[in-house]
Structure 1
Amino acid sequence: MSALATLPTPNCIYVGLPVVPLNAPADAPMAVVSWVSQVAALTEPDEIRWWLDDRPASLPIESLVEASAPLPLTCSIDPTAAGDQGSWRDPALMRRSIAEDFSGCMRGRTMWIVPLSLGPVGGWLSRLCVEVTDSIEVARRLSATTWAGARALRAIATTARWLPVVRSASPFAAGRHRTAPGYVAQFPDSGELWARGDGGLAVDLSPVLGGDEGWLDTSLTLLRLTSTDGRSRHVAAAIAPDGLLLPRSLGSWKVSAVGSGRTWLRAGADGRLRATEPLRGANTDWGRDGVAVDAILLDGGAGQQALAIEAFDWEHAVLLAVAGAASGGRAATRGSLADRWARWLRAGTSPGARAPRVFVVGGPARAAGALTWLLRRLAGEAGAVPAVGGLLPEDADLRGDLERWTAIADDIGDALGALGVCAPDVLEQQLWSLRERIVQARLRHRAGPPAAPRPSSDSQDRKDAS
């Protein structure tokens, strides 16, 4: 039986004797050393080693790809907090089950302690972690894909905010029947993660890293657009970074993907939304504190008639994102969806926030045209036509627009209705405004041929249209 019968608790002092020498560096924080002692008492490794080399491990490209992670289990006192692809577990019962699974699981193995930073060490958007693993392959992969080593450990010593992660690749003990090869258990309330199998950092960490701090963990790719006269724009776009449909140039603008498709967003000290990539990749030119986002480009799908749509404001932009999710048919719990939309709303409407403008492209094949219009809009060089769904290019074909947005409004209504009382009031108000615009447009249509729409100059007409 292990020296520790319960699951270790971060930031608590453990007075038990370690089962093997901890070999902790002299400057290791007491909270980390105490937690490692608890994990060692539970898992009983033969040896403990610390990964302190700041140089990233050099590994073949194929070995940098995480194995498919098991579906995450969200262990929270709130049953509605389960992630989009996961399921809820009672945290007390799950801690007991994990303690049994991990009891003695590292016997005959070496425990590696890997202090690391997701994002450059010390960066405004970066988060600190300590991962315990019994797999040297996992430790090397962490070194190659994150900012791991002594610098990260020194940064951890200056803060009480770090994510403890325990990942074991050892097989389950006889009699511990599992229907899946492993699991990832996230504890958002206490901020920790336990995994058996190859899963771990390959899952959505926003439930444990986000909380109330305004973090957004997205699958957007950051695009850097640089003009021949030295100007630059950064656009977080729903475009695959290696996709064939990503344009390389737009007239005098060069287009490059800065990230690999995993982008963290958070408001900076100046209120602007800033972006960084939590993992090291081929493209690392973000700067320590990330880059300010000028615009966000979402994918409205091939069914969108207009080349692109610009949201009236940030709250309307979140409604457009709800429309995209509703049409995509993603399964999720009420609580997880409501929490996602509430976090997006807070990111752009909190006091002092300077939200980027949001555009929706009519399918990836039209990305070049949408980006060209986006750049001209940001520069104040292109007008827009206020329409039911948002601001459209001046030459937009509005035929069939009312029918499409009527159907979209119904989809949004169904999506928000499924959230019940969890649905953010702001989105209900935005849906009401959309339906009102549809009604007014139908009345104008019945009254006779409409007058030619007046192109909007920029911010004033964005305000008028909303």
Structure 2
Amino acid sequence: MMTTTVPGLDRAPTTHRRLLAWVREMAELTTPDQVVWCDGSDRERDRLTTQLVHAGTLVPSPDEPDSLRVAADPADTARIGDHTYVCSRDPADAGPAGKWMDPVDMKIILTEQFRGAMRGRTMYVVPFRTGPLGEDAELGVQITDSVHTVVSMRALARTGTAALAGFVDYDGAERDFLPYLHSVGAPLAPGQADVPWPCDHTKYLSYFPEERMVWSYGSGHDGAPSLGRQRSALRIASALAREDGRLAEHMLILKLTGVEGTTHFIAAAFPPGCGRTTLATAEPTSPGWQIEALSHDVARLRFGDDGRLYAVDPVAATGGAPWGVPISAILFGGRRGDTVPLITEARNWQHGVFLGATLSTDEAGVVRRNPMAMLPLLGYHLGDYLRHWLDMGTRSDALPAVFLVNWFRRGADGRLLWPGFGENLRVLRWVVERVEGTASGLVTPIGYVPTTAALDLSDVDAPIEDVRAAIAVDDAQWRAELPLIRDWFDTIGDRLPSELRDELHALTRRLAATP
């Protein structure tokens, strides 16, 4: 089939030459029956959503009339990471947790997979924009044959006509964009009904960091086809951020307002299962304090003209603050039954990067590391990522304070020592007061920790003995932690920044000096 005969291909609402050439090339490869340029309108959303409901992909909720659930195949949603590849030129850039394939080899494989993959289907072209307005916005185009993906993209980014307007500057210059290609990999024969595609066939979710490109084949799971979605896009965004002197992180942004109306913003990185959602949604128990989540998934961070680090939600532009909010503190949150106290403040930025680099969870007695909650989401080598964090600390004298939290420390009988949920705000109050210089901190070998007197424990839902145990630093447990950290650093290899080994040596010396 010649692409010139594909209905809709020549109805592009743009003159952007590279975009037009790429869409035509992908149409020629995948041979769809028609091309639809998505406009991002409410009418389009309603039409496609109705189509998904009729197909059974979206199911109305009987309890919440305005909600729809996705009837996903469990075989498609499970272990999508097994099919995920980082296709960088240097295999080391895939990192210790990534699966690598040569980008040339992967493109040869995927080109054959995509050949004719959209036969009998519609190719949707979804221009999208994330980040603030203007030149700092990140532009991309999602090509897909999945209606579900189109609807998901609209919920996760600014799509269609409004986004496409930013592809050309005021002076007429064409801006670059990120090309994302997806197909469910189920072409239809003439007259064949569009039935749910099988989920046990070949799948690929491939990231090409140097080319800023993502190709996904064979899955209808939201995390795979919605390539511009927040977490999936971090593999590309993290690589771009390093080039631009910024950070693209798997962080939520919290707004804390005290009893006197003073406001602070906190960026928090938590691996799965470490209390991220409860922190963002819990009602505070401290009277007069308010907490609001401005971003639940990702954040872009950069320095402002005043030297402070600003964070922005790339989709929602952080609740009407399009250039971001000034970050007072960064929280790294792990899940450990022992060793790690409820809250620890880093001694300085470099020590804070060390805390983030060794962020850990206890899974069935095995300690696993997930630096800055970004290990499975990086688009380049972990050692270079940690170097970038350290270098960020040399660019300003107004850096946020860095803290490590652990809501899950347990007593000898296995019970949780800290009640969590709304009580977590008591810990965040200490964070704010440390930033403001109004709260005391106890000096320990691992950093600064609060005393019970420094925390607001009025009417706290926990025995005072449990709170003392939750914030205590056990030197013997930390001495046992040292070889685990050393082994972890060894897995990163020669690219591990020397400053982090220096921090490990300094911690070893401090622990050796304690009784």
Residues 74-153 of structure 1 correspond to what in structure 2 (within 5 A)? 74-82=86-94, 86-122=98-134, 124=136, 126-153=137-164
Higher mean C-alpha deviation, range 432-441 or range 329-338: 329-338
Residues 18 and 88 (structure 1), Cα distance of their counterparts in 2 relative to 1, 3 Å cut:
farther
The amino acid across from 1:209 in the alignment is: A
Residues 181-220 of structure 1 correspond to what in structure 2 (within 5 A)? 181-196=202-217, 197-198=219-220, 199-200=224-225, 201=227, 204-211=232-239, 212-220=243-251
- Residue equivalent to 1:285: 319
The amino acid across from 1:425 in the alignment is: S
Aligned-pair CA distance for 1:36: 0.9
Residues 189 and 245 (structure 1), Cα distance of their counterparts in 2 relative to 1, 3 Å cut:
closer
The amino acid across from 2:348 in the alignment is: D
Confirm or deny that 1:324 pairs with 2:368.
no
Higher mean C-alpha deviation, range 354-363 or range 206-215: 206-215
TM-score, structure 2 length as denominator? 0.73
> 2: distance between equivalents of 1:271 and 1:54?
39
The amino acid across from 1:70 in the alignment is: I
- Residue equivalent to 2:488: 415
- Residue equivalent to 1:450: none
Aligned-pair CA distance for 1:141: 2.0
2:513 paired residue among 416, 440, 451 = 440
- Residue equivalent to 2:33: 46
Aligned-pair CA distance for 1:419: 1.8
> Which SS does the other structure have where 2:116 is aligned?
coil
> 1: distance between equivalents of 2:308 and 2:158?
25
> Which SS does the other structure have where 1:129 is aligned?
strand
- Residue equivalent to 2:54: none
Confirm or deny that 1:160 pairs with 2:175.
yes
Deviations 1:286-315 (A, max 9, x none): 522222211112224342464421001111
> Which SS does the other structure have where 2:434 is aligned?
helix
The amino acid across from 1:57 in the alignment is: R
Deviations 1:430-461 (A, max 9, x none): 112111222233xxx3xxxxxxxxxxxxxxxx
Residues 425-436 of structure 1 correspond to what in structure 2 (within 5 A)? 425-436=498-509
Deviations 1:262-286 (A, max 9, x none): 3333334444322233345xx9615
Confirm or deny that 1:367 pairs with 2:424.
yes
- Residue equivalent to 1:57: 45
Q: Is the 8 A contact 1:225 1:253 kept in 2?
A: yes
2:444 paired residue among 378, 383, 387 = 387
- Residue equivalent to 1:234: 265
- Residue equivalent to 1:458: none
Deviations 1:123-149 (A, max 9, x none): 74x421111111222212211221112
Confirm or deny that 1:403 pairs with 2:476.
yes
Q: Is the 8 A contact 1:117 1:147 kept in 2?
A: yes
User: How many residues in Structure 1 have an aligned counterpart in Structure 2?
Assistant: 423
> Which SS does the other structure have where 1:107 is aligned?
coil
Q: Is the 8 A contact 1:64 1:144 kept in 2?
A: no
The amino acid across from 2:351 in the alignment is: H
The amino acid across from 1:103 in the alignment is: R
Aligned-pair CA distance for 1:63: 4.8
> 2: distance between equivalents of 1:399 and 1:43?
60
Confirm or deny that 1:23 pairs with 2:10.
yes
Aligned-pair CA distance for 1:49: 1.5
- Residue equivalent to 2:395: 351
1:340 paired residue among 367, 385, 407 = 385
> Which SS does the other structure have where 2:125 is aligned?
strand
> 2: distance between equivalents of 1:218 and 1:162?
20
Aligned-pair CA distance for 1:181: 4.8
> Which SS does the other structure have where 1:161 is aligned?
coil
Confirm or deny that 1:308 pairs with 2:352.
no
- Residue equivalent to 2:329: 295
The amino acid across from 2:215 in the alignment is: W
Q: Is the 8 A contact 1:54 1:151 kept in 2?
A: no
Confirm or deny that 1:224 pairs with 2:255.
yes
The amino acid across from 1:311 in the alignment is: A
> 2: distance between equivalents of 1:181 and 1:271?
48
> Which SS does the other structure have where 1:45 is aligned?
coil
Deviations 1:100-158 (A, max 9, x none): 0111111222111111012344374x421111111222212211221112121111223
> 2: distance between equivalents of 1:417 and 1:258?
37
Q: Is the 8 A contact 1:223 1:258 kept in 2?
A: yes
Aligned-pair CA distance for 1:70: 2.6
Deviations 1:16-56 (A, max 9, x none): 96755523445431111111111111111221111123559
- Residue equivalent to 1:13: none
TM-score, structure 1 length as denominator? 0.80
Residues 84 and 292 (structure 1), Cα distance of their counterparts in 2 relative to 1, 3 Å cut:
farther
Residues 102 and 307 (structure 1), Cα distance of their counterparts in 2 relative to 1, 3 Å cut:
closer
Aligned-pair CA distance for 1:355: 2.4
> 1: distance between equivalents of 2:313 and 2:67?
18
Where structure 2 has 5 or more consecutive residues not aligned to the other structure, the ranges are: 50-65, 190-197, 409-419, 453-467
Q: Is the 8 A contact 1:294 1:357 kept in 2?
A: yes
> Which SS does the other structure have where 2:117 is aligned?
coil
Q: Is the 8 A contact 2:332 2:405 kept in 1?
A: yes
Where structure 1 has 5 or more consecutive residues not aligned to the other structure, the ranges are: 4-15, 446-466
> 1: distance between equivalents of 2:339 and 2:307?
32
> 2: distance between equivalents of 1:260 and 1:118?
15
- Paired-residue identity, %: 27
Residues 405 and 73 (structure 1), Cα distance of their counterparts in 2 relative to 1, 3 Å cut:
same
> 1: distance between equivalents of 2:472 and 2:7?
74
Deviations 1:354-394 (A, max 9, x none): 42111122316262332121121122111222210001224
> 2: distance between equivalents of 1:39 and 1:424?
41
The amino acid across from 2:357 in the alignment is: V
Higher mean C-alpha deviation, range 294-303 or range 142-151: 294-303
The amino acid across from 2:343 in the alignment is: A
